[in-house]
Amino acid sequence: MNKMGYSSLRNAKPLRQANYFLLALNTFLALQLVVALMLTHKGIIPGFSDIKWFSNTIFSSIFFFIALCGGIFIYASIYCYHQNNSWSFLIVGILLTTLYIVKNIFFPESTYAIANPIAIIIWLACLASLIWGTVSLKKNERDSSINLLLTFTLLPLFILASSFFLALTIIYHPNTQDTLLMAIDATLGLQPSFLAGQWFAYLPSLIILLIKTIYLGLPFALAVVYIGRYFQAKHPPFELIIEFFLIGLFGMLLYHINTGCGPINAFKPHWPQQIPIVPMQPKPELCIGTFLPRNCLPSLHTAWVVCLWRHSLPCTRRIRWLITFWVICTLAGTLGLGEHYLVDLLVGFAFASFTGGLCAINLSIKQPARYMAIVGGALICIGWYLLINFGLELLRISPFIAWFFYSSSVLLTCLLEFKLTSAQKLEDTE
């Protein structure tokens, strides 16, 4: 374990700063989880008096499984780099990921999930190894191992905590606003999510399987980018961790503004072949009885993959190409799989620029690229929320108006991202 330290490869000060932040974030997520379990046990939240959400996440959630595999991948990659004898961890993680995804796609009704418990056992073994190795080191040599330990525990904690807050969107919003979100997209003169779903229907099943695998495997993509940055950055890539988890924390709050569960869930009898008639005055009266989170707006998958793409730029060419491919498949999947409306993606894109500027701590806050990303991303998001809630009639005047807002949003956000990534690249070369 003593070979796993990388203090000689990293400046001690940013490493210690990263550790303080990671400790605070782990503590925050753990406290959230404890409070959630207490509220559930005491039945304080109406309609939420059992802990099925917790057990379901641990034993049945594919996101929790891939979060565990992401941690195993980080551990295995760093261990292999320093000791060159632990590829078995990486191989087992990849095999378990493949096994579980195949099981969920081909046997979705099966309640027997063997993959999650196996992944938990492997993850706990890695955790025990990390703790033992950290304790075994001298005090002045522990910073690097502590950094790895805190990063290792972060993803599973986040998935557990977020599952509770996603459940809250169902309890407090029994009715959804899918008709409103569909009406906003309809002002373009077409329904992008339904058209994408129709195109997907003609794709080979192997392509659909690949896109579903990539869409579900987002925590694993985070691990890949983290490892890529780990071996190339001058300090631990904690800006990546900051942004990734702030996107999740802020996004969970934004879900409560305009609730939606996606066209495949809201319009299941019709999607994607038959487009429902959009009412003139859409109201939140579409009730979804099943356990489906209201997690449409903004599209956090979009925000996350943009974040990962930006942070992958300093990595090797192979990682950059892999993440670019991941971005394309994820964006296609958000629409083609029926999980989101097009407006969700636009808000998620602008939201990523806002959080990207907020978390670009290697740049001065006075740097134009940084504050433009913060202010510009926030204004675009606010503008979309105003349009969604008060501007439907304006967009309905002409499809040209809707296309103007949609295209302007994309172009402005691309400009913000270009300036931010250019400034970060310039900073890294100095």
Q: 111-120, pLDDT tens digit by residue?
A: 445 667 877 8
The torsion angles phi and psi of 340, rounded to 5 degrees, stand at -145, 165
Q: 163-214, pLDDT tens digit by residue?
A: 888 888 888 888 889 899 999 999 999 999 999 999 998 989 889 888 988 8
In the chain, what are the helix, strand and coil shares in percent, each to the nearest 5? 75, 0, 25
- Residues sharing a CB contact under 8 Å with residue 45, sequence separation 6 or more, in sequence order: 39, 168, 171
Cα separation, 281 vs 266, whole angstroms: 17
Q: At what angle do helices 62-83 and 87-106 cross, to 10 degrees?
A: 160
What phi-psi label fits residue 214: left (phi over 0), alpha (psi between -120 and 50 degrees) or beta? Answer: alpha
The runs of H, that is alpha helices, within 44-142 are 52-60, 62-83, 87-106, 115-136
Q: Is 201 helix (H, G, I), strand (E, B) or coil?
A: coil
Model pLDDT, residue 50: 57
Using the structure block, give the residue that is written with the tokens 């929320």. Answer: 385
Read off the tokens for 156.
């599973």
Q: Mark 215-245 as b/e (b = at least 16 C-beta within 10 Å).
A: bbbbbbbbbbbbbbbbeebebbbbbbbbbbb
- Residues sharing a CB contact under 8 Å with residue 250, sequence separation 6 or more, in sequence order: 351, 355
Give, in order, the Cα–Cα distances in Å from 46 to each of 41, 49, 73.
12, 7, 39
Using the structure block, give the residue that is written with the tokens 């103007």. Answer: 404
CB–CB of 123/72 below 8 Å?
yes
Using the structure block, give the residue that is written with the tokens 């942070």. Answer: 311
Model pLDDT, residue 114: 67
Cα separation, 19 vs 98, whole angstroms: 32
Cα separation, 169 vs 298, whole angstroms: 14
Instruction: Give the domain ranges of the chain.
Output: 1-172, 173-430
Using the structure block, give the residue that is written with the tokens 């990659």. Answer: 77
Candidates 138, 137, 13, 126; CA nearest to 71 is 126
Q: Is 153 helix (H, G, I), strand (E, B) or coil?
A: helix
Model pLDDT, residue 52: 64
Residue 286, beta-bridge partner list: 176
CB–CB of 243/324 below 8 Å?
no
Total residue length of the chain: 430
Residues of the chain below pLDDT 50:
1-10, 86, 109, 111-112
